[in-house]
């Protein structure tokens, strides 16, 4: 570049490439939650939908890396630029990004529906942006810049862009912009990135180094140096495995936490941010001591985490949160640190990133497709933890010899025997642990649990200090395998089944009085096992609760003839059905229908006096097929889990419900949720539609198995509520902070979080 001094050239070039990579990664991580926000409501918003989205994005990333590998290795620089600019322009056909209703089909598997929607809406733009990280780094290596022999520092800029975009989306972009506005903003960003890519290409020297070797400036001349040692097959396999483990574990911890611990909306952002942060740190050339520290922390985290998981102890939520995410971060740091330490010469840069993306994509495929089909619970999470323990040998050198070879196998086998005895036999061993109960001020059962699972966990951790990490990996794997083989899942489990939408468990309570249907950690109904009370509605649907008061008011001669319910659960609400009534349930998960309608598990439907039917599919989409003015009551019971289906709470959705509701009909919303307060949203919707709205929040009364719940009623005229409008337990829905109207183009759950 004769028009620019070498000093200025060296100063500006890293910044130009860093900004381009920062922007490309930022655009990727804005479009991911944006398009997922468009798709999630269609399929009910479960973790499985997000996992499938992640699988697609990782596969698209793989395709982009493969394209970059082919382009940089097979074509001259001029042809690389021509082809890449052409692809950048072709991707504009997909802009602005959006989902067409014509693409939605419920006659195919939900997994393939998500994949097809993503392919038709965002595949080519995502593909070309994905190729930028390896391709632009490869181009930078050909510039002759003083840092061109090791361009991997640019990967930190790329991941920084990813993480900042990921955090900015729910906190800044989503609250301020509608989906249309977001798509428009993203389109502008994409065009700016395309211009930056052209500028980067303009600054690259036309040398053979673009296809291999590293460019080095000597005065005004470019020397092409190629002393690269090709990676071995073992190294290549290692890259794939090291990328697979954090990818699988990231999805596993998300699913495990939201399914088995707490249904926290948007929790998936935290593991993904930590995943990206680990890449930023390890490729930023920080001291080697940090990597060694993480190697030491990994066994401690894995051992402690497995102890907590398998013992069913319940530490404070903050401790569980830190332990799960801290262990995941340590694993990501170790695996990604090993990748950074083993990065190859520039000539093999694109292959390195390609194999990394292969591992990431395999992690996504394993968690999103293989695990739900193979496992009936979230076993992919401990599986990934076991793999994380097994990769520790990669961090050590040297081979065992003599009797030590036998110890590598003997120690884990002895541990397996001890673990099995403790877990399977301990409860029947007559040992008095009351002394420990007094010392630690804990119940005997808690001490029993600590001994049963704590001793094997401590031994596993102790084994990690023997300078043969393979022993730790094998010990942890055996520990997990023995737990799976002997564990009874902590309760009287009648049935457990996993579907695309989550893990469903039918279980009897400890006292044998009730049977429950639980989806992850969210209760979906209880039925009394006493025949005298088997048709009584309990928990959130109790006769003395808000919805019970509604059915009591409209019973006998005043009974509403046709009731629609969005959300089936165990079918508890059919217990209010009377002869001559019809209840129509809309349920998105076929597994829930199968469980609720099976008298072996629940008998609400079998013994109901009312006529009933269950229509499968998304509630809002399927209710469109109902006759106008066909329902007397429409009940929406779909807001208690972590995945708030916002498409059921928009202006357009409310207009649809009203078109299916008789003029004297009632809308009922069950908005009980530990983490999200939806009253302002419903207040705004009711005011916008000119409806009268009532609110009641009731507390727990466990003596009669009544759970605390919040319900909102809406009607076109206050007379529709009849005597309920005079009931002091109900009050007008008013006085909440003003909220922006939710529409199909705008919604923001984060603004209504309960942060206390």
Q: What is the pLDDT, as a whole number, of residue 467?
A: 54
Q: What is the pLDDT, as a whole number, of residue 311?
A: 61
Pick the most confident of 26-30, 229-233, 321-325, 390-394: 26-30
Per-position DSSP letters for 75-103, written without gaps between them: S-HHHHHHHHHHHHHHGGGGPSP---GGG
Q: For 558-565, what is the mean pLDDT?
A: 95
Cis status of the peptide bond prior to 638, with omega within 30 of 0: no
Q: For 38-47, what is the mean pLDDT?
A: 64
Pull the structure tokens for residue 458.
């401590």
Residue-wise pLDDT for 628-685, tens only, equals 999 999 999 988 765 678 889 999 999 999 999 999 999 999 999 877 899 999 999 9
Q: What is the pLDDT, as a whole number, of residue 380?
A: 87
Q: What is the pLDDT, as a whole number, of residue 61?
A: 87
Q: Of the given ranges (198-207, 373-382, 702-711), which has the lowest mean pLDDT?
A: 198-207
Higher pLDDT, 75 or 106: 75
Q: Of the given ranges (144-148, 342-346, 740-744), which has the lowest mean pLDDT?
A: 144-148
Q: How confident is the model at residue 430 (pLDDT cuts 50, 70, 90)?
A: very low
Q: Of the given ranges (78-82, 371-375, 414-418, 446-450), which has the lowest mean pLDDT?
A: 446-450
pTM above 0.85, yes or no: no
Report d(CA 195, CA 163) in Å as an integer.
Answer: 23
**What are the strands of the beta sheet with 522-528, ordered from one edge?**
492-499, 502-508, 514-519, 522-528
Q: For 561-570, what is the mean pLDDT?
A: 95
Residue-wise pLDDT for 306-328, tens only, equals 777 766 556 677 778 888 999 99
Q: For 47-66, what is the mean pLDDT?
A: 79
DSSP 740: P
Q: Which contiguous run of DSSP H or E holds residue 728? A: none
Pull the structure tokens for residue 112.
């393939």
Angstrom CA distances, 201 to 70, 214, 217, stand at: 17, 16, 18
Higher pLDDT, 741 or 469: 741
Contact between 610 and 582 under an 8 Å Cβ cutoff? The reply is: yes
Q: Of the given ranges (66-80, 269-283, 423-437), which has the lowest mean pLDDT?
A: 423-437
Higher pLDDT, 5 or 109: 109
Q: What is the pLDDT, as a whole number, of residue 267?
A: 77
Q: Of the given ranges (59-73, 182-196, 554-568), which has the lowest mean pLDDT?
A: 59-73
Report d(CA 415, CA 453) in Å as an integer.
Answer: 12
Residue-wise pLDDT for 292-301, tens only, equals 888 888 888 8
Q: Of the given ranges (74-78, 397-401, 539-543), which has the lowest mean pLDDT?
A: 397-401
Q: For 111-120, what is the mean pLDDT?
A: 86
Residue-wise pLDDT for 175-220, tens only, equals 899 988 999 999 999 999 999 999 888 877 654 455 555 555 444 4
Pick the most confident of 68-77, 222-231, 484-493: 68-77
Say which residue the tokens 């893990």 belong to. Answer: 503
Mean of the per-residue pLDDT values of the chain: 82
Q: For 596-611, what is the mean pLDDT?
A: 95
Pull the structure tokens for residue 720.
């529709």
Of 218, 184, 563, 536, the closest CA to residue 525 belongs to 536
Q: What is the pLDDT, as a whole number, of residue 208?
A: 42
Neighbours of 656 (CB within 10 A): 18
Higher pLDDT, 267 or 589: 589
| Residues 423-438: b if buried by 16+ CB within 10 A, e if exposed | beeeeeeeeeeeeebe
Q: Of the given ranges (57-71, 184-198, 433-447), which has the lowest mean pLDDT?
A: 433-447
Q: For 225-248, what is the mean pLDDT?
A: 86
All residues at 6 or more sequence positions from 517 whose CB lies less than 8 Å from its CB, including other chains? 504, 505, 506, 523, 524, 525, 526, 569, 570, 592, 595, 596, 601, 602
Higher pLDDT, 449 or 603: 603
């Amino acid at each position: 570049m004769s028009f620019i001094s070498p000093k200025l050239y060296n100063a500006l070039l890293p910044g130009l490439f860093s900004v381009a990579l920062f922007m490309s990664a930022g655009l990727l991580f804005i479009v991911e939650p944006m398009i997922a926000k468009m798709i999630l409501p269609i399929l009910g918003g479960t973790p499985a939908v997000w996992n499938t989205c992640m699988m697609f994005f990782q596969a698209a990333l793989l395709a982009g890396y493969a394209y970059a590998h082919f382009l940089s290795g097979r074509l001259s620089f001029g042809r690389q630029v021509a082809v890449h600019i052409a692809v950048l322009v072709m991707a504009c056909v997909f802009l602005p990004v959006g989902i067409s209703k014509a693409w939605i089909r419920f006659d195919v598997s939900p997994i393939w529906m998500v994949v097809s929607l993503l392919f038709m809406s965002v595949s080519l733009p995502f593909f070309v942006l994905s190729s930028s990280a390896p391709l632009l780094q490869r181009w930078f290596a050909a510039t002759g810049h003083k840092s061109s022999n090791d361009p991997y520092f640019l990967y930190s800029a790329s991941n920084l862009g990813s993480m900042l975009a990921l955090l900015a989306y729910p906190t800044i972009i989503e609250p301020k912009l509608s989906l249309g506005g977001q798509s428009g903003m993203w389109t502008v960003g994409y065009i700016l990135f395309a211009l930056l890519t052209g500028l980067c290409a303009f600054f690259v020297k036309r040398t053979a180094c673009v296809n291999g070797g590293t460019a080095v400036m000597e005065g005004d001349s470019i020397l092409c140096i190629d002393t690269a040692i090709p990676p071995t097959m073992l190294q290549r396999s290692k890259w794939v495995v090291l990328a697979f483990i954090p990818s699988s574990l990231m999805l596993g911890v998300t699913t495990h936490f939201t399914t088995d611990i707490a249904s926290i909306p948007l929790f998936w952002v935290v593991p993904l941010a930590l995943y990206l942060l680990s890449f930023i740190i390890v490729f930023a050339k920080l001291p080697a001591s940090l990597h060694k520290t993480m190697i030491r922390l990994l066994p401690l985290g894995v051992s402690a985490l497995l102890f907590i998981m398998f013992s069913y102890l319940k530490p404070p939520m903050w401790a569980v949160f830190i332990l799960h995410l801290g262990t995941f971060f340590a694993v990501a740091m170790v695996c990604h640190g090993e990748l950074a330490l083993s990065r190859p010469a520039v000539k093999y840069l694109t292959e390195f990133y390609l194999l990394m993306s292969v591992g990431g994509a395999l992690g996504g495929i394993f968690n999103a497709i293989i695990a739900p089909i193979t496992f009936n619970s979230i076993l992919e999470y401990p599986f990934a933890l076991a793999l994380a323990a097994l990769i520790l040998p990669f961090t050590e050198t040297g081979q065992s010899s003599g009797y030590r070879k036998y110890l590598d196998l003997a120690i884990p086998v002895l541990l397996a025997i001890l673990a099995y005895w403790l877990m399977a036999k301990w409860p029947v061993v007559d040992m008095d642990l009351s002394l420990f109960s007094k010392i630690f001020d804990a119940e005997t059962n808690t001490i029993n649990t600590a001994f049963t699972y704590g001793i094997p966990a401590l031994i596993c951790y102790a084994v990690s200090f023997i300078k043969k990490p393979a022993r730790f990996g094998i010990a942890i794997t055996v520990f997990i395998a023995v737990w799976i083989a002997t564990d009874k899942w902590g309760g009287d489990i009648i049935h457990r089944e996993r579907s695309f939408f989550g893990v469903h468990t039918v279980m009897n309570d400890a006292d044998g009085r009730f049977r429950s249907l639980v989806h992850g950690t969210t209760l979906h109904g209880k039925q009394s096992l006493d025949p005298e009370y088997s048709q009584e509605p309990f928990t959130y649907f109790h006769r003395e609760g808000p919805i019970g008061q509604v059915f009591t008011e409209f019973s006998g001669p005043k009974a509403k003839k046709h009731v629609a319910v969005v959300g089936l659960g165990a079918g508890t609400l059919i217990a209010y059905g009377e002869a001559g009534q019809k209840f129509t349930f809309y349920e998105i998960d076929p597994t829930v229908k199968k469980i609720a309608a099976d008298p072996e598990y629940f008998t609400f439907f079998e013994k109901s006096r009312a006529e009933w039917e269950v229509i499968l599919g998304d509630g809002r989409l399927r209710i469109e097929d109902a006759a106008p003015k066909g329902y007397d009551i429409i009940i929406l019971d779909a807001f208690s889990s972590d995945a708030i289906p916002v498409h059921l709470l928009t202006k357009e959705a409310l207009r649809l419900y009203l078109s299916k509701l008789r003029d004297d009909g009632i809308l009922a919303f069950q908005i009980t949720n530990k983490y999200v307060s939806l009253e302002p949203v419903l207040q705004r919707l009711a005011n916008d539609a000119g409806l009268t709205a009532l609110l009641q929040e009731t507390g727990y009364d466990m003596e009669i198995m009544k759970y605390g719940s919040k319900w909102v009623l809406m009607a076109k005229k206050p007379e529709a509520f009849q005597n309920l409008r005079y009931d002091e337990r109900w009050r007008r829905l008013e006085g909440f902070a003003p909220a922006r109207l939710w529409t199909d183009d705008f919604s923001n759950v984060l603004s209504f979080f309960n942060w206390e």
